[in-house]
Amino acid sequence: MAAPHVAGAAALLLAQDNIQSAKQLKDALIGTVDTLPSLEGKVSGGGRLNAYKALLSLPINRQVEVVIDYVRGVGGFGEEPDFFVKVATDGINFVVTTQVEV
């Protein structure tokens, strides 16, 4: 009964484009299981599949590109403000910061 769940989790991890080898995929799936004493000796991975933890265990290889084609603002006394965007990541979340200077 576990095969379809493991196959689905493997497909989810492969869709992230961060998997470099079959060993890395296997390690991500088996190394992030939720260990349960009731499953000891009954399953090959030693626990319950946790796809979320497996996803978080992968390195982030995504590039984020922010393109501002044209920004025109209204400043005081005929000035046009400069508009800055900063995108950062903590490995899980993306934070977008904007700043306007007049």
**C-alpha distance across the termini of the chain, in Å:** 62
Is the pLDDT at 79 greater than 60, yes or no?
Answer: yes
19-61 pLDDT, tens per residue? 888 999 999 999 998 988 888 888 777 789 999 999 888 877 6
Specify the pLDDT at position 10: 92
pLDDT over 70 for what percent of the chain? 65
Is the pLDDT at 69 greater than 70, yes or no?
Answer: no
CA 99 from centre of chain: 26
DSSP state string for 47-102: EE--HHHHHHTSPP---------------GGG---EEEEEEEE-SS-EEEEEEEE-
